[in-house]
Chain A
């Protein structure tokens, strides 16, 4: 027991995540909660952060850091009603700095929430039928599915399944209700956490459900993936993928991003038991000593997909059927208005960085509030940080367009590469960030977009992903071009991922600044313009042209980078 990570003891002794949270919340002298409680709040979707921009000036002013909380909502399948959106919007204006952020896992999060407002915020969410349970922490996170349940029957089914899976794997502790909603403790008979037990999971656990041919959710980047197998427009069952994940640590070969492995096919009715047993396998076999090695992907990597399949079969009482092997065409979102087979319209609103905010003549927050006030369908969030106003009658299209126009939110106005780009939050609120990400994206997309135009590929929707650190919130290792933060103004440049989430990228230049990034990309974009095959994506081109090797297996991540570096070294010497 002694070599377990300290967080394990903390969880075990926390009385099912209660810790001293009530005292921490009631302590008006500090805007923070205690160090231990700050780990426990994560299980309730609440992350303690501070504004790193003012950290030093506040230290000199003899003030504590400007503590504030990020509060992430649980929103299975990314579906919320217009009424729920209005509640979220209202809470954001009351307690969260007039902004909402759409996340890369199909939900919204609030930033800048003061400790003294946490209870009111969570009560407001509860009143709208929303909660933040397990939105962070060592548990099953928000379950994501192919965006927009109104797009087809299959999408509706996948979305409903996401909700069912999410509910079935929720922590059962009463701590959330007691600490945040002020409810009295309820009598507990037997184990308070029948699934998780007192120590929950070794690390976070993510489940994703995809509906081909669009892989908007990057299904293989998650611990457990279900890929719908369609027969005549109906879902016949799901291929099951295990062991995906993005996060890694710089210059640490034992850590790497990993695409999940297919382990078989299950019928729709089996999804719940498969998810349950898979989570339990990770609960029982995941590494609880080293949190950098605690994700399910390392359990699979270390023990093998075959071991997993056998273990699952043992617990399930039967083996999975062989995987069917459905294919994907793209991992990008639809753009603008599109129509589903039932005749209804859907408008994908591009939300740069997922940042819903007013300003600079683009009052997106106000526009969405106005749309929510008249809209009868749903708001469907995508894992690419966009928002689909889904299920619009023909008669309402013009009204929605007018609202978007009136608030400067033009659909499809952006250069494609900028529209599909993603960035994590990073500075100033994220404690993990090593470099700017969200705040750098507009600038970087400006210069990259210009470079692409100069090279004659200005209309290409190359997947560009920025991340302030290698933990991978923006799924950077699936970007055709990715910048992963190393230090202020410096990034690792990765190239070569597939445009359907089927192939990882490879480290191409390490710890370089903007000028070096552009200098490295210019000749490649020029060659791409000159040598590309019809319809060829930039990531595919860089692999075909031998710029980077094709990387499917995460364990090869560092070796591939070393090979590129070895090749680059003599080339650099020559050009010098």
Chain B
């Protein structure tokens, strides 16, 4: 709901004839729009849409953007959109309690914003092995660097989002928390770290804050509160992770040819009747469910009945359901082992949970405590590989089937394995939409460079399909990498057809294992540096999707190289140029 809509508004402000408005009013609106940031325009569009839809009186625009009381700043650093959503929820929640809030993207937060704020509520996620979200990097670099402003005037609290299946869990939140304190700010409440199931801890964090914040001093705040309530929800779907839509499977087609070392699937699902409306760049969440055999094995090793009730996040459900859909039942992590059998951690490490339970039975732990010890099932998000304009009522995914061996047995990923095994015409997949505001197509005439490896190609299929279906005239350049040309060129015939039709202006491919020397996408970027630099000078947007550990940094370095080689930049200027591209949303990443 964010970037795309915001940019659309931006374009409209410059070009749209403001239909029924008198000329003087239209001029005022234009002038106002010109002063707003993209974020503010987006907020305004949601506000207007929400107000009109709900039949509420439209509050005076000036009142909406200039509340009487200095509001609390809810600052988010988001990659996938989760932190943004929690930030907006937090603002809404606080405003319902009379606390005025503004929601601010870290990308839009510099020294002036920090100086103007008095209370900073930070919601920030952590990427991969402890990295900040792309759009949080400029602010992080500011706070870390010598130019960091003193923040003694500031109160703050940090909510850290993360995924405990990664090392350096919630690292970014921890660093913001420590750094804000080091710069003199006062901690309003202890930091809360959230795992993939962040709703419950986030709610606790909000509760802990509300008490310490000033009560409202002005009636104007009420209007703002309403505004945020509608702005956050114009395209929200009724379906969530806890209440997913059962999407009928339309197609499960293997994309990698025989002989490939990988099994990558093209999955088509029906969204008919769901009301889910996605944009290119969005992701689809698939609710994970552990294989019945694994759940049964764990239950068999436990002294509890499968129907034993357990409470999770204030919901009650049966032990069986909790094991099936809430916690990982494959290999327990060290934290579990240390709690379960502290003297045998080394011996039990690497064994399946059911084996561990059999090898080290305990009868002094109740079912709820047992469940709480287990690592929550991480959410499974897949970049959407289709365009709702091109294929209405359908959503397409590109799913790499995770395959591995453990103890001599072949196993597959909880979600990818289950998806790959589906062939029944009656199969349904529990899904929910996951907005990805940080990965959006630009205006229709802006050229784009799409860089991806492996299943990272998925959103680009959506991008090009969208641009083809909507007649967008901007040039499109795909840079794709995988292992082998013959077996792993995902959607090859579609790219070729788009190229033939003139919808794909360039394709560069890097197949790493077709020759003695490994060749990756970043090599192609350097080879094509001159052309790439020209595209960027012409305003192109660059996208990077796929592996966060190696590809994304390598591509980043290659882009900096291109700026040095073809733009004559020194290292600092190249880095600044890339930061600026990010701030301008011309360099967007969806890496995992």
Contact = CB atoms under 8 A, between A and B. Distances in A.
Interface of A: 28-31, 54, 57-64, 66, 114, 116
B486 A62 contact: no
Given A31-B485, A114-B486, A116-B514, A62 B509 contact: no
Interface string B174-218: 000000000000000000000000000000000000000000000
A64 B485 contact: no
Interface centre among A57, A60, A62 (most CB of B within 10 A): A62
Given A28-B509, A29-B509, A62 B258 contact: no
Interface in B461-507: 485-486, 489-496, 499, 507
Interface-central residue, A31, A58, A61, A116, by most chain B CB under 10 Å: A61
B254 interface: yes
B452 to A, nearest CB: 15
Contacts of A61: 253-257
A31 B256 CA distance: 16
A64 B258 contact: no
B87 to A, nearest CB: 39
A63 B253 CA distance: 12
B491 A62 contact: yes
Contact of A29 (B253, B257, B490, B496): B496
B253 A60 contact: yes
Contact of B258 (A29, A54, A116): A54
B266 interface: yes
B489 A63 contact: yes
Nearest to B256: A61
Given A29-B507, A29-B509, A31-B486, A63 B258 contact: no
A15 to B, nearest CB: 24
Contacts of B254: 61
A412 B499 CA distance: 56
Contacts of A30: 492, 496
A59 B497 CA distance: 13
A267 B493 CA distance: 58
A58 B488 CA distance: 11
A61 to B, nearest CB: 5
A28 B485 contact: yes
A57 B489 CA distance: 14
Nearest to A29: B507
21 contacts: A28-B508, A29-B492, A29-B507, A30-B492, A30-B496, A31-B486, A54-B257, A54-B258, A62-B253, A62-B266, A62-B491, A62-B492, A63-B489, A63-B492, A63-B493, A64-B492, A64-B493, A66-B257, A66-B486, A116-B485, A116-B514
A520 to B, nearest CB: 39
A62 B490 CA distance: 7
Nearest to B251: A60
Contacts, number: 47
A62 B461 CA distance: 12
A57 B493 CA distance: 13
A29 B493 contact: no
Contacts of B485: 28, 31, 114, 116
A64 B494 CA distance: 9
Main secondary structure of the interface of A (DSSP, over half): loop
Contacts of B507: 29
Nearest to A28: B509
A31 B486 CA distance: 8
B494 A62 contact: yes
Nearest to B515: A116
Interface string B505-520: 0011100001000000
A497 to B, nearest CB: 41
Nearest to B255: A61
Contacts of A66: 257, 486
Nearest to B514: A116
Contacts of A62: 253, 255, 266, 490-494
A66 B486 CA distance: 7
Given A31-B485, A114-B486, A58 B496 contact: no
A66 B493 CA distance: 11
Given A29-B495, A62-B266, A62-B491, A57 B514 contact: no
A29 B499 contact: yes
Contacts of A60: 253
Nearest to A27: B507
A136 to B, nearest CB: 24
A85 B472 CA distance: 57
A58 B257 contact: yes
B257 A63 contact: yes
Nearest to A63: B492
A53 to B, nearest CB: 10
A28 B499 CA distance: 13
A571 to B, nearest CB: 49
Given A30-B492, A61-B254, 5 more contacts: A58-B257, A62-B255, A62-B491, A62-B494, A63-B489
A118 to B, nearest CB: 14
A332 B485 CA distance: 44
Contacts of A59: 493
A57 B509 contact: no
B196 to A, nearest CB: 32
A66 B257 CA distance: 10
A382 B559 CA distance: 58
A292 to B, nearest CB: 30
Given A29-B509, A31-B486, A64 B496 contact: yes
